[in-house]
Copies of this chain bind each other. A is one copy, B any other.
Amino acid sequence: MKQIAGGVCAPQGFKAGGTACGIKKNGKPDLALIYSESPAVAAGIFTLNKVQAHPVLLSKEHLRNPQAQAIIANSGNANACMGAEGMKATRQMAESAAQALKIKTEEVLVASTGVIGQPLPVAKITARLEQGLEFLSAGGGHAAAEAIMTTDTFSKEAAVEFELSGKTVRIGGMAKGSGMIHPNMATMLGFLTSDVVISPELLQKALKTAGDKSFNRVTVDGDTSTNDSLFILANGRAGNVLITAESAGFATFLEALTTVCVELAKMMAKDGEGATKFVTITVTGAASEAEALQAGKAVAGSNLVKTALFGEDANWGRILCAVGYSGIDFDPERVEIALGGLPVYQGGMGLAFDEAKAKEILSQKDILITINLNRGGASADLWTCDFSYDYVKINGSYRT
């Protein structure tokens, strides 16, 4: 497997594009379309929030038949909590895309991201699609990725290539953050494409597994949104032997899919609202992977840890404290904590570490926190960012 340039258009038979239809007041791109030239099997995973946006509800409905040929997404409006009008708008969005692409409405997956509780001006979407699809092309993956950005500061794309039964297979993806990011899931949209030949059941299984190891390990602010959606379309153009069981081929595909998802997830953490630092939290010595994740999520979610990282303060006490309230069972005396490889806590107490060295480590853009629970052989990586003034600034006036 190798990482390659590009995003959702990297696999064969996909077109994409982004355009501005007028939802965003500033005129920036706000409408993305991804299209498979031939029918594709499809899978999706969604927010666990009880309050689910209208496009989430519609996409779930459309995925009852796990086949889709297009994804349409808008930014600038979440189309959530809008009652019957909201549901009508999301259906119209799917219908307009279907008409423009000459496919069935049920083969369109829909996603929206932006502010909650304001009417989606769906007429603008319809009008734009009726003007023509000249923005849709095999080179439009990047434009599509840009059109789903909200407070993101850069667009997020990744792609890989690998071999399956002698055929070259590709997976491409795009995603957006960047606040309201917390498993499960984040305020995130992630759209993946592949030319792999796979059954819908195995595609769903691979998507769930890859999502758990990537997007569900990113925290920005602990808020789980109403709109999170991760979709994959697989059109089978690669011509590999059909994957219908958890074979070696499935394992290869899953590894590749996980790689793309992890790349996109890390970009989301790097681009967390107001983030100045990208933080990897590695928990080792856990009794189980679930335990490692539980401990790591508490640390990744701690406002006190994250503000200390922003302040470049080696406040390991807050890290240990967060593990302490994570709910896992452990012996604080046996824990070892290191920052960028520098041991700071061991044997039940803080070490007399070199403050200058710690300051140097924490002044980097990329920070590694390792926590060894010393009680088992399981481990997990999680990704987050620091917590800055700008998070408050961005979120103090998001709606208006």
* A residues adjacent to B (C-beta < 8 A): 48-52, 78, 80-86, 115-118, 179-180, 182, 221-226, 301-304, 307-308, 310-311, 313-318, 320-325, 328-330, 332-333, 345, 347-350, 387-389, 391-393, 395-400
Contacts and interface: CB of A to CB of B under 8 A. Distances in A.
A259 to B, nearest CB: 28
B325 A395 contact: no
Contacts of A393: 389
Overall SS of chain A's interface: loop
Contacts of A345: 81, 117
Given A348-B81, A396-B308, A317 B221 contact: no
A349 B82 contact: yes
Contacts of A50: 323-325, 328-330, 332
A400 B83 CA distance: 51
As for how many copies of this chain the complex holds, the number is 2
User: Which of A317, A323, A345, A389 has the most chain B CB atoms inside 10 A of its CB?
Assistant: A317
Given A49-B325, A83-B348, A303-B391, 4 more contacts: A81-B332, A85-B349, A116-B321, A222-B301
Contact of A317 (B78, B224, B302): B78
A269 to B, nearest CB: 16
B347 A313 contact: no
A117 B351 CA distance: 9
30 contacts: A49-B324, A50-B332, A51-B321, A51-B323, A52-B324, A81-B320, A81-B348, A81-B349, A82-B349, A83-B349, A84-B348, A86-B349, A116-B317, A117-B350, A180-B321, A221-B303, A222-B222, A223-B303, A223-B304, A224-B321, A226-B324, A303-B391, A310-B392, A311-B395, A313-B397, A313-B398, A313-B399, A315-B398, A389-B393, A392-B392
Given A303-B395, A320-B51, A350 B82 contact: yes
B392 A307 contact: yes
Contacts of A82: 349-350
Given A81-B317, A396-B313, A307 B391 contact: yes
Contacts of A81: 317, 320, 332, 345, 348-350
Contact of A324 (B51, B317, B324): B51
Given A117-B345, A395-B308, A396-B307, A223 B322 contact: yes
A117 B304 contact: no
